[in-house]
Structure 1
Amino acid sequence: MVNLNSDQLLQSCEDLYDELVRMLENMELTEDNHALVSVLQNKHQVLQTIETEANHYNRSHRVPQLISNIFYYEEQILLHIGQKDRNKLSFDFRYHYCNLVRLLCYEIAYLVEQDVDITRYPKLYPDLTAINHQQIIEQGNQTKYEVSVVLLAYNNLQYTSQCVDSIVQNMDDINYELIVVDNGSTDGTKTYFESLPNAKVIHLNSNIHLVKGFNIGMMAAEGKYIAAVCNDFIFTPNWISNLLICLKSDESIGFVSPGATYISNYQSINIPFHSIEDFQQRAKDYNISDPSKWEERVVLLPNVLCCPAALLDAIGYYDTRYYRGEFLDDDISFRIRRAGYKLIYCGDTVTHHYGSLTTATDHATNSLQEGRKIFIDRYNIDAWLDARKNQACQFIDYSRFGEVTTILGIDVRCGSSLIDLKNKIWSNHGVKTEVYTCTSESKYVTDLQSISKQVFSIEGLIQLPHELKQSIDLIYIEQGIDWYEGNIDDIFQSLIELLRPNGQLIFCCHNRLSVEMMKENFVQVARQSNFCQFSIPEIKWIANTHQLELTFQQDFLPLADEKRSQAISALTQFIAGINNNFAIHLESQMNSHYSLLQMTHVVKENI
């Protein structure tokens, strides 16, 4: 057996796939295809070598499962040739064998990426190549169908059949194809799929898991758009029509997804119902296309991954490194945004979600932490901390933002809370806003560029007026204002120089009596020379001297747990002793970690 180094291993995969592509493009498959037989026989040994070499890499992978399926379809193709079944031969070669080899190439590319010069393999590392937006449009105009609905299923036939029925019954008059992927089921799913009229059935003899299962289905798509779905959803009247209306409304939109029952990421729509039939009727009444319910997002859960098919092909579909599928949604959201497209949550459309049937087994493992680490290693960003909305957003008083047309977000991480502000102004007041951002952490610049008209890198708030030379209607500071070093008077002066008269300022500050701030002050005194120097009442007083009038305040605690509550209770009893009233007061102070403050720049005339 030949031993291959990483470059040779990757090159052998790429050469194999390129040869298959040339065969698809340049030759017609017939019943007596000697060239194809020769290729299959010659490449069998290469694939065995690839499998052996892949096991030398210390990363989780599914190379054995992929090659097992490739060998299965090698046998099927040889059988079709012997039986002179041209249709099955063509289908299995194109949609099974070739696409499985493509999946294998991506898998090997992930395994060896630390050992090779990835710039030599742009086809296997799509992030290296800038997206040609015009090409995406042109490819979309040459497709056979309007949309390809891709359904992935592994067992749970009862749910799968309900899902399929709901899709077929609610496609209206759209020109579509249904691609169903049986990911190695053992409960009759394959037979059921083969009974569906006109469905394109992708069957995997052994399970290749969620990521690659979806990818092989999407690779088979011949539609302008792809709508990829799991088998634990029920779809509703106008679901696909509404998504396509949104997707087609702006060429810069690259990914749309509807709301659902029992889902996270602020994409849940609560519609009480007592049966699926009742839910369908209620959903029909709800699912009226309404652009005021469209929300731009930094991260979007793919209740439906609805995107231009050419865009998904260009970015390489779902990233194979997410072995169990966790944080797959965050990753594809980041890659589509960074490719220059918007993500839109369609809050005008509801579907029903039973629960994670497709990934239920992995939830019992440490899959969330595994996926989180993979994402951090890939982007140097924590999707949970950096790409989610700040809890403070739920307390903001939006009634004063009717004339806001420009927003400046300061240290907003990846911008989820800032985009939520923009969305709420649109839904509450019908006003579209321009967004500017500035950050003191360079790792966020790339993602802020995807949602902002302009991004500024700063070291402190005092330099802001020198960077942004225009008046702003609303300034939102996500980082606590007492986190910044510098004179607090100078900070407020810099902010009001940017605010127009009657402009709005939103910021948080820490309660220095909270248990978290006590800990912070103990362990980081040397680093934070100005941290929490002032109490919240003092900060409000200083802001007022700079013509900033408090209009709203909300105290809150971002995260709470039983252990924290017990620690605070013990500490207050130790400090207050038998003074019960003092203990109650002290405990309330320690429990409130932040205060959200909204202020208006009130310009007072000189008398």
Structure 2
Amino acid sequence: MPHRVRTKPSMAGHKVRVSKHVTASIPPKSASGPRHRKQFSRGWKAGYEQGVRLGQETFASRFEGTSIIIPTFNSRELLMNCIDSIEANTPMPYEIIVVDNASTDGTVEVLRRRGGRIRVGVHQANLGFARAVNTGLMMSKGQNVVWLHPRTLVTKHWLNNMLLCLESRPDIGAVGPVTNHIEGPQGMKVSYSTVSEMWSFAAGYNQMGGRRWAPTDRLASFCVLMKREFLEKIGYFDEGYSQKAGNEDWMIRLRYLGRVMFIAEDTFIHHVTNPTGVADSLEQDHVNDENRRELLDKWGDPHKWLHTLSSRGMLNPAMKSTDYFPAHILVSDSKGRSYWLEHGIKRPVVNYIPQMDGLPVPVQVSMLDLRQLVMGRPIRAEELRLRLGPGKLQKEGYEEVLYRLPDGRLVQVQQNKYREFITGYAADSWGLTGQFLDEVPEEIRNLQEGLPILPRNCLTADHL
């Protein structure tokens, strides 16, 4: 299981929790003399190994509360104020997970001294918003999860009101609050001028039981709440985008799973404006041209597809990301274990050797995705290689054949249905480019159309 949490003891008596492959940038203080340094090194190693074992044993444990994930980079004072506001205004069970993107302002050291209910993931470089949130999601243990911008102050009843909205309908996938100083439907005008005045404004605004909730097509990324059970269906953020494009990508996938988003208009949290006047990532609530092109390449026109699927009654809240996977494909997890996917089943491949002749290179998918699939009986690599020989799929009675239709669409025939890849990028992301047959049997025209095949999520981290 790659989703582990390990504990490294600090010299200050606190513990800093970091995810596997996300190493701590807090070096141990050296002892004087070679003998003492050697003894210290052995003790450090023993403590580290004990932390790894503890993380492995408790990884699957959950608690009836909310994991609050805060990605941060060089925002020490803002982050501390944000944490103060959480501790002062969140009476229900929660944990705080800060994922630091290689800050140089002493953020990790301050968190280490602070202790409390804070766990820390430390990246050795600034790996961006998506990687930081994914690390936090991997570390989280709450039944609900929320990611939060460090330049925010949460207020009275903030989490309670948002949870009420989230629980109000089974098809709600995510909920966000309203705030000051942001464009779009989540922005609002406020009557206060200082932070000290803000607290009384928010206390009056965030009335419990207000149930002022509004559906929306998108949520800004400064504060988003969802259930863990939905996280396990939708998976991680695509790590190939900027913050805004990654958020747009995630929301498209949310809608493909038959979920909707709501704004909890009875929940206000404060955004601390940048005193320099330079817009930060929260204020820049747009997607740059390069990322917009990447979104277009990956998704084409998602709204057209979503409208078609909805009109046919093919979307429902029970859906999961693997419903949109192609069939008969070789995948691997972050540990390098290979699986053959067929009909919603994952079959471990025995005796597989990387780059094995006659077998395609497996594409990596996350452990969250793999957990959605039923475990089937193992298949030997030699047997799989025979099945995948030229024309073998047809001869063996399998129907999962790839075709390029005369109009250019790419499809896979699967269980008496044909399924269209929504874009060429989608086919390429699954490693299938060049495998489509141009000679299309006439009978394909008579097949029923099934769910489309969506692009694979891009994960650059090796611990998801």
TM-score, normalised with respect to structure 1:
0.42
Please give the alpha-carbon distance, in whole angstroms, between the structure 1 residues aligned to 2:40 and 2:314: 51
| Cα distance change of structure 1 residues 253 and 165 upon mapping to structure 2, 3 Å threshold | same
Question: Which of 238, 242, 247 in structure 2 is aligned with 1:329?
Answer: 247
SS of 1:150 mapped into structure 2: strand
| Cα distance change of structure 1 residues 273 and 95 upon mapping to structure 2, 3 Å threshold | farther
Matches within 5 A, 1:499-514: none
Per the alignment, residue 231 of structure 1 pairs with: 150
Post-superposition offset of 1:146: 0.9
Matches within 5 A, 1:170-569: 170-172=89-91, 174-194=92-112, 195-290=114-209, 292-322=211-241, 324-355=242-273, 360=280, 368-381=288-301, 414=303, 444-446=307-309
Please give the alpha-carbon distance, in whole angstroms, between the structure 2 residues aligned to 1:311 and 1:233: 25
Residues 176 and 223, structure 2, Cα contact 8 Å, conserved in 1? yes
Post-superposition offset of 1:452: 9.1
Post-superposition offset of 1:175: 1.1
Please give the alpha-carbon distance, in whole angstroms, between the structure 1 residues aligned to 2:135 and 2:142: 15
Residue 187 of structure 1 aligns with an amino acid whose one-letter code is D
Residues 246 and 346, structure 1, Cα contact 8 Å, conserved in 2? yes
Residue 291 of structure 2 aligns with an amino acid whose one-letter code is G
Q: Is 2:69 the partner of 1:150?
A: yes
Post-superposition offset of 1:304: 1.4
| Cα distance change of structure 1 residues 367 and 247 upon mapping to structure 2, 3 Å threshold | closer
Residues 257 and 304, structure 1, Cα contact 8 Å, conserved in 2? yes
Alpha-carbon RMSD: 4.2
Larger Rg: 1
Structure number with the higher strand fraction is 2
Q: Please give the per-residue CA displacement for 1:359-409, whole angstroms capped at 9, x wherever unaligned.
A: 948999x96112211211121138xxxxxxxxxxxxxxxxxxxxxxxxxxx
Post-superposition offset of 1:342: 2.0
Please give the alpha-carbon distance, in whole angstroms, between the structure 2 residues aligned to 1:181 and 1:246: 27
| Cα distance change of structure 1 residues 203 and 381 upon mapping to structure 2, 3 Å threshold | same
| Cα distance change of structure 1 residues 95 and 373 upon mapping to structure 2, 3 Å threshold | farther
User: Highest relative contact order (Cα 8 Å, sep 6+), 1 or 2?
Assistant: 2
SS of 1:256 mapped into structure 2: strand
Structure 1: gaps of 5 or more residues = 1-17, 32-65, 100-138, 383-413, 415-440, 454-607
Q: Please give the per-residue CA displacement for 1:543-566, whole angstroms capped at 9, x wherever unaligned.
A: xxxxxxxxxxxxxxxxxxxxxxxx
| Cα distance change of structure 1 residues 256 and 73 upon mapping to structure 2, 3 Å threshold | same
Post-superposition offset of 1:310: 3.2
Per the alignment, residue 420 of structure 2 pairs with: none
Post-superposition offset of 1:258: 0.4
Q: Please give the per-residue CA displacement for 1:503-542, whole angstroms capped at 9, x wherever unaligned.
A: xxxxxxxxxxxxxxxxxxxxxxxxxxxxxxxxxxxxxxxx
Post-superposition offset of 1:148: 0.5
Residues 256 and 315, structure 2, Cα contact 8 Å, conserved in 1? no
Please give the alpha-carbon distance, in whole angstroms, between the structure 2 residues aligned to 1:233 and 1:380: 34
Please give the alpha-carbon distance, in whole angstroms, between the structure 2 residues aligned to 1:191 and 1:30: 14
Please give the alpha-carbon distance, in whole angstroms, between the structure 2 residues aligned to 1:29 and 1:372: 39
Residues 29 and 86, structure 1, Cα contact 8 Å, conserved in 2? no
Please give the alpha-carbon distance, in whole angstroms, between the structure 2 residues aligned to 1:208 and 1:186: 14
| Cα distance change of structure 1 residues 67 and 250 upon mapping to structure 2, 3 Å threshold | closer
Percent identical pairs in the alignment equals 20
SS of 2:244 mapped into structure 1: coil
Please give the alpha-carbon distance, in whole angstroms, between the structure 1 residues aligned to 2:184 and 2:204: 24
Per the alignment, residue 44 of structure 1 pairs with: none
Q: Please give the per-residue CA displacement for 1:131-185, whole angstroms capped at 9, x wherever unaligned.
A: xxxxxxxx9xx7224101111110022211111111111102x111111111100
| Cα distance change of structure 1 residues 266 and 356 upon mapping to structure 2, 3 Å threshold | farther
SS of 2:255 mapped into structure 1: helix
Residues 245 and 287, structure 2, Cα contact 8 Å, conserved in 1? no
| Cα distance change of structure 1 residues 373 and 309 upon mapping to structure 2, 3 Å threshold | same
Per the alignment, residue 43 of structure 2 pairs with: 83
Post-superposition offset of 1:444: 3.8
Residues 23 and 123, structure 2, Cα contact 8 Å, conserved in 1? no
Post-superposition offset of 1:272: 1.8
Post-superposition offset of 1:69: 5.3
Residues 24 and 124, structure 2, Cα contact 8 Å, conserved in 1? no
Structure 2: gaps of 5 or more residues = 10-18, 30-37, 317-464
Please give the alpha-carbon distance, in whole angstroms, between the structure 1 residues aligned to 2:312 and 2:179: 29
SS of 2:170 mapped into structure 1: coil
| Cα distance change of structure 1 residues 333 and 267 upon mapping to structure 2, 3 Å threshold | same
Structure number with the higher helix fraction is 1
Please give the alpha-carbon distance, in whole angstroms, between the structure 1 residues aligned to 2:283 and 2:263: 25
Please give the alpha-carbon distance, in whole angstroms, between the structure 2 residues aligned to 1:343 and 1:279: 27
Please give the alpha-carbon distance, in whole angstroms, between the structure 2 residues aligned to 1:214 and 1:257: 16
Per the alignment, residue 344 of structure 2 pairs with: none
Post-superposition offset of 1:266: 1.0
Residues 23 and 122, structure 2, Cα contact 8 Å, conserved in 1? no
Residue 445 of structure 1 aligns with an amino acid whose one-letter code is T
| Cα distance change of structure 1 residues 336 and 359 upon mapping to structure 2, 3 Å threshold | farther
Please give the alpha-carbon distance, in whole angstroms, between the structure 1 residues aligned to 2:65 and 2:247: 24
Q: Please give the per-residue CA displacement for 1:240-280, whole angstroms capped at 9, x wherever unaligned.
A: 11111111222322201100101122111221212212101
Per the alignment, residue 472 of structure 1 pairs with: none
Post-superposition offset of 1:349: 0.7
| Cα distance change of structure 1 residues 219 and 94 upon mapping to structure 2, 3 Å threshold | farther
Q: Please give the per-residue CA displacement for 1:556-581, whole angstroms capped at 9, x wherever unaligned.
A: xxxxxxxxxxxxxxxxxxxxxxxxxx
SS of 1:264 mapped into structure 2: coil
Aligned length: 293
Residues 338 and 447, structure 1, Cα contact 8 Å, conserved in 2? no
Residues 7 and 51, structure 2, Cα contact 8 Å, conserved in 1? no
Q: Which stretch has the larger CA shift, 444-453 or 270-279?
A: 444-453
| Cα distance change of structure 1 residues 451 and 295 upon mapping to structure 2, 3 Å threshold | farther
